[in-house]
Amino acid sequence: MASPPPSASDSNGHFAVNIPRHHPDHTDDDAPHRQDDDDELIDPDDPFDITQTKNASHDTLRRWRQAALVLNASRRFRYTLDLKKEEEKEQKKSLIRAHAQVIRAALLFRLAGERELVISTAATPATPVGDYTVGLEQLASMSKDQNVAALQQYGGIKGLSNLLKSNPDKGISGDDGDLLKRKNAFGTNTYPRKKGRSFWRFLWEAWQDLTLIILIIAAAVSLALGIKTEGLEEGWYDGGSIAFAVLLVIVVTAVSDYRQSLQFQNLNAEKQNIQLEVIRGGRTIKISIFEIVVGDVIPLKIGDQVPADGVLITSHSLAIDESSMTGESKIVHKDHKTPFLMSGCKVADGVGVMLVTGVGINTEWGLLMASISEDTGEETPLQVRLNGVATFIGIVGLSVAVLVLAVLLGRYFSGHTKDLDEKPQFVAGKTSISDAVDGVIKIFTIAVTIVVVAVPEGLPLAVTLTLAYSMRKMMADKALVRRLSACETMGSATTICSDKTGTLTLNQMTVVEAYVGRKKLDPADDSSKLDREVLSLINEGIAQNTTGNIFVPKDGGETEVSGSPTEKAILSWAVKLGMNFDLVRSNSTVLHVFPFNSEKKRGGVALKLGDSGVHIHWKGAAEIVLGTCTQYLDSNGDLQSIEQEKAFFKEAIDDMAARSLRCVAIAYRSYELDEVPSNEEDLDQWTLPEHELVLLAIVGIKDPCRPGVKDAVKLCTDAGVKVRMVTGDNLQTAKAIALECGILASIEDAVEPNIIEGKTFRELSEKEREQIVKKITVMGRSSPNDKLLLVQALRKGGEVVAVTGDGTNDAPALHEADIGLSMGIQGTEVAKESSDIIILDDNFASVVKVVRWGRSVYANIQKFIQFQLTVNVAALVINVVASITSGDVPLNAVQLLWVNLIMDTLGALALATEPPTDNLMNRSPVGRREPLITNVMWRNLLVQAIYQITVLLVLNFRGESILPKQDTRAHAFQVKNTLIFNAFVMCQIFNEFNARKPEEMNVFRGVTKNRLFMGIVVMTFILQIIIIEFLGKFTDTVRLNWTLWLASLLIGLISWPLAIAGKFIPVPKTPLSRYILRPLRRLRRSRAAQQ
C-alpha cells in the first residue's frame, strides 16, 4: 500500500532543497492551504534550516557554523566536516597529481625525442633482491615512468612474471612462506595511517570550553582568597570544590568522546577493507586488498578499483578512469602499448588481467593516501538543526545568567543580600576589599555556572553519540554506514527502490530448465540426446563467453566454479553436460570481447578457430537475443529457420518467466576471418556482428526468494514505506517474484502502470513520468538510466527515496537518491563509493533493519532533548526566581556542575543508546521538516518542569517551616538547600525513565535489556549518596536523615504517576513551532516584498 502524501496536518513534509515544493496530485482547492503550510518551506534566512547535507556546498556548511552559539568549538565541531582540512586535502591531491602529470609529460617528450633519434631506452639493469632477480627500485621506476622499453627489456609480461616467480595464467603459489618473502622484498599493500587522537588530546579539547576556563579562574581566585582569610585547612574548600567539579566534568567528557572516536576509527578501517578476487595457484580466491603482494595476478572487470600498480597481461576493451589520480575525468584505454595501471583508478569498461608490480607506499596512490587525512568528518541534518536549538536555548540561558548576575550584584552592593544572621553581607566603607572580591566571585561563579547548565553544549554531540552507537550495532545487522547522515535520513524514507537479484532473492542460481532447439531437456543437464556438434558449440560459447572460471584440483577434489551467480549457474550446467573448460578454451583464440552490458542486456565474444574459421558467440536476456536470431540448431544439429518457431520460443520464455525463472539465451554465428579487422586499433573499435544469429539454447535459471523477505516487505508497508522492485529481468519474471515477495498484493495489481517496462517509462515525457511514478511498483527490463529517472521523478513528487544498486552504472542513481544502498557481495567498488550505506549480506531484510535504526536515531535524540530541556527549564527558573526574590540561589556552582554532568554526558549515554523497538515500525516515516520538539514532548517536559519548579520553590521559601526544627538557623538553611539539591537530582533520575517512552504509558518496557541505561541510573544514584553523605565540604551540603532521604525519593517518584496522568492531556496536531514561526516568516516576507 502506498504511503499517503505529506500533508500539513501530519507535518510530514519530505522536500529537498532543490525540488519544487508542491505535490503533483494536489488540486487547486488546496492552494490556500498550501500557502499557510509554511513549515514545509525552507527558510532562506535560517542558517540551520538544512534538510540534506549530502552534496551540500561549503558555503552552506560554513554559514551554520558561524551562526551557532558555541562555548567549545574544537569539541562541538569535532565530527563535522573540517572545511579547512578539506581544502588542504584538495591542495595536496593537486600537488601529487601535478607531479604525476609532469612525469608523464617528460616521458612523452623523451619518447618523442627517442623516436626522432632512434635511440633505444635503456632500463635500469635488474638487481636481484632476495629470491627475486628484479628489485623494488626497478619496478617502482618502471611503473612511475610508465617505461614500456624497460618492460620489453625484462622480457615483456612473461619475462617479468618469471623474474617475479609468478605465472600469467596461474598466479603465485600463495603459500605462507612465499607471501612472507614477497612482503619482505617488495612491501605490503598498506600505507602508514595518521594516528587517531590520543586521550590527552581529547582531555585538552574538553578543557577548551570558555565557561569551564572562567570557572577555573574563579576557583583559583576563590582558593587564594579563602586560604588568605580562613587559612589552608578550611579556606581551600570553596575554590577547591569548584576546581574538582570542573576537572570531573572535563575527564568524564574526554572519556566519552574518546570512546566515540575509537568506534569511528574501527568503522573507517572497515570501509577501506575492500575484498577482491586474485588468482593464486590457478584458483580464483577472494582476499582483502591489504593482502595483495607483488606478483599477484588479478582479474579486472567493470566497476573494480585497481588495487595496486601493475602491468596488463591481457585485456578486452579495457578503459580506465584515472580521475582519482590525474584529476581529469578522462577515460584512458589500455592495451599492450599502454599496459601500465595505476593503483586507485577505476575500471570504466571492459575486462582484463593484471600483474601486480608495486604495492602500498611504493605507489603514487599510497603516497597520496599516506599524506592526507582520510576522515575529515561530516555533519548530519539533525546535527545542524540541534545546533540551532542549542543556539536558541543558549541565548536564552545567557540572557538569564546576565539577569541573575545583575540582580545579585545589585542586591549585594545595595546591602539587600543578607547572611544567616540577617546582617547585610556588604556595607560600604566597612566590608574589606578581600571580602567584597570574594562575594563578587561567588556571584560571578553562580552566573557562569548557570551558563554551563543553560547552554546545552552536549545536545548536538548527542547525535554523534547515538550515531556512533547505531553504526556499531548496524555492523552486526550487516550494514556498513559510509555517510553518517544516511543513518538519519533512512528514518524519513518513504520508498525503497530495490533490485531483485541477490537482494530480494538468494543469488544462489541453478539451471533448472533448458531448451536446445525445440527439445526440452529433461532433466536440464541430460546431454545424451544432443548432437555432438550442437553440444560442442554450446560448450564453446559458454567456456569462452564468460568472466567466470573453473578450477579442477589435481588431487581429484571437487570442481570449483567462480564468477557472478549467473555465470556460475551456466558454467555448472555446462560442466554437467560434460564440458572440459580448459580444453575447450585451448581450442580457440579470443579475438575480441564485448563485455556484458546492462544497457544492451547481453555480452559477446569473437573466436578464431584452429582451422582459421571465426565464431561469434552471444549470451544474454532471452527475448532480446531471440530477436536477433534468424535460425536455430535443432537437437540433431540441423539448421532450421526460426520464423515459424518464434512463437514457440517466446511461449517457452514466458512460461519460464511466469515461474520466476531468469531466462538466458545462447546463440552464435559464423564469420569470415578476412572481414575481421587485422590491426589492433581497428579491432579494439570493432563492433561485434549481432544479427543473423543461430539460436543454440535457452536456459531457465532459478533464484529462490530469500526466506523472510515477505515479512520484511510487509513490515515496510505497515511502516508507511512503499517497496518498489527495479530489475533488469523480464517483466514476467519480475511480476512472479514481486507476487512471491508480497510487493504486489495480488495478480489483479499486476497491470500497467503498477508494473511497467523500463523502455515504456523512459519514453514518457517528464510530466507524464511524474504523474504515474507514485503508482509504479515493479519495473522490469530496466536500465541504470531508467532507475535514475525513477528516482528523480519520485523525489520531485516529494518522496524520500532509498535505492539499492550493485553495478557501476547504478552510481548516478545511488548518488541522486536521498539514501544510496550498495551491495557488499555483488556490488562493484564504483557503486560502493557512490553509496551512503553498504548492505554487507545483500539482503533486503538488512535494508529494513537500517530503516528501523534510522528511526531509532531520531527517537533517541528526541528522548534526550525532552530530558535535557526539563532540567534546563527547572534549573533556570528555580535559580532566577530565588535570586531575584531572596538574593541567593538554592543550587550552587558545584551542585549545578554535577547536575550538568547528569544531564549532558551521562544523560546522553543513557538515552542516546536505547536499542530500537518494534513500535518504531508501527508509525509513519519521520518528516524531514517535522519539528524536533513535538507537541507531545512539550507537554511531557512542561508537566515535569512545572512540578519540579513548584515543589522546589515551595521548599526554598517555606522549607524551614515545613522541615523539622534544627539546632541553629544556619544548619536549618543548609538542610533546606541540601534537600532541594537532593530532590532535584532524584527528579532527574526518575524522569530519565519517563524520557525513554515519550508517547507510551509503560515507560519500563525493555528497560532491563538496556544495561548501559540501568548502569548509569544506578551509578548516578550511588554517586548522589556519596556526595550528600561524604562530600558535604565540597558541595556545601549536610548529611540528611532517612526521613529526608525518603522525602527526596518520594518527590522524585511522584514524577512517574504524573507522567502517566500527563499523557491523558490532549495535544493539537499542528506543531507549536508553526504558530510561532508563521507570523515571523510572513513579517519577513512582507518586509522583503516592500523593499
**Which of 37, 238, 499, 703 is labelled catalytic?**
499
Residue 596 cell numbers, joined: 556484458
H-helix or E-strand spanning residue 780 = strand 778-780
Q: What is the pLDDT of residue 235?
A: 66
Residue 523 has pLDDT above 80, yes or no: yes
Nearest to 984 by CA among 943, 956, 1011, 1026: 956
Round to whole Å and give the CA distance between 621 and 782.
12
CA distances to 376, 441, 839, 860, 928 from 474, in Å: 22, 49, 10, 15, 22
Backbone angles phi, psi at 516, to 5 degrees: -120, 115
For residue 296, how many other CB atoms are within 10 A of its CB? 27
Percent of the chain with pLDDT over 70: 83
- CA–CA dist 117, 130 (Å, integer): 38
878 or 1052: which carries more pLDDT confidence?
A: 1052
Say if residues 814 and 831 touch (Cβ distance below 8 Å). Answer: yes
C-alpha cell at 94: 593537486
Mind giving me the DSSP string for 448-517?
A: HHHHHHHS-THHHHHHHHHHHHHHHHHHHTTEEESSHHHHHHGGG--EEEE-STTTTB----EEEEEEET
List the beta bridge partners of residue 418: 424
Most confident of 44-48, 533-537, 912-916: 533-537
Average pLDDT over residues 1-22: 34
CB burial of residue 183 (10 Å; 0-12, 13-18, 19+): middle
Closest CA to 840 of 489, 504, 474: 474
Q: What is the pLDDT of residues 484-511, one digit of tens each?
A: 788 888 888 999 999 988 889 988 899 9
Query: What DSSP element (H or E) covers 977?
Result: helix 969-996
Give me the mean pLDDT over the 267-280 stretch.
Answer: 82
pLDDT band with cut points at 50, 70 and 90 for residue 744: very high
Range 822-837 average pLDDT: 87
DSSP letter string, 880-910: HHHHHHHS--SS-HHHHHHHHHIIIIIHHHH
What is the mean predicted confidence (pLDDT) over 635-651? 91
The span from the CA of 875 to the CA of 877, in Å, is 6
**What are the backbone angles phi and psi of residue 18, rounded to the nearest 5°?**
-105, 20
Mean pLDDT of the chain: 82
Place of cell 532543490: 18
pLDDT given at position 115: 43
With a CB cutoff of 8 Å and minimum separation 6, the contacts of 740 are 660, 705, 710
pLDDT at residue 967, as a whole number: 76
Cβ-based neighbours of 501, under 8 Å, separated by 6 or more: 507, 565, 662, 703, 727, 729, 826
How many angstroms separate the CA atoms of 978 and 972, rounded? 10
CB atoms within 10 A of CB 1084: 13
C-alpha cell of 310? 601493475
pLDDT at 715: 93
Nearest to 355 by CA among 178, 188, 166, 190: 166
CA distance 309 to 140: 9
Q: Which of 1028, 1043, 1030, 935 is nearest to 984 (CA)?
A: 1028
Q: Is 499 a catalytic residue?
A: yes
Q: Is the pLDDT of residue 673 over 60?
A: yes
Q: How large is the average pLDDT for residues 399-405?
A: 84
E strand segments, 800-901: 801-805, 819-823, 837-839
Cell numbers linked to 453: 547548565
- Smallest CA-to-CA distance from 512 within 424, 433, 566, 573 is with 573
786 to 756, 790, 792, 810, 880: CA distances (angstroms): 11, 6, 10, 10, 62
Peptide bond preceding 6 in cis form (omega within 30 of 0)? no
Are 435 and 428 contacting, i.e. CB atoms less than 8 angstroms apart? no
* Structure confidence by residue, pLDDT tens digits, 570-604: 999 999 999 999 999 999 999 999 988 777 889 99
* DSSP one-letter string for 618-641: EEEEHHHHHTTEEEEE-TTS-EEE
Q: Is the pLDDT reported for residue 739 higher than 80?
A: yes
Range with top average pLDDT, 31-40, 105-114, 204-213, 1041-1050: 1041-1050
Cell 550493485 identifies what position?
A: 806
Report the alpha-carbon distance of residue 935 to residue 877 in Å, rounded: 21
Which grid cell sits at 667? Answer: 546463440
Whether pLDDT at 41 is above 50? no
Q: Is 300 helix (H, G, I), strand (E, B) or coil?
A: strand
Tally of CB atoms within 10 A around 560: 14
- Grid cell of 739 as nine digits: 507476487
Q: How distant is the alpha carbon of residue 367 from its chain centre? A: 26
> pLDDT tens across 113-149, in order?
544 443 344 455 555 666 788 888 889 888 888 888 8
Q: Distance (Å, rounded) from C-alpha 861 to C-alpha 882?
A: 31
Of the pLDDT bands very low, low, confident and very high (cuts 50, 70, 90), residue 743 is very high
Residues 6+ apart with CB under 8 A from 346: 303, 304, 305, 306, 320, 321, 324, 808, 829, 830
Residue 970 CB neighbour total at 10 angstroms? 12
Q: How many other CB atoms are there within 10 angstroms of residue 59's CB atom?
A: 8
Q: How far is CA 51 from CA 380, 422, 555, 755, in A?
A: 9, 57, 61, 32
Cell 533512512, located at residue: 490
* Residue linked to cell 566497476: 303
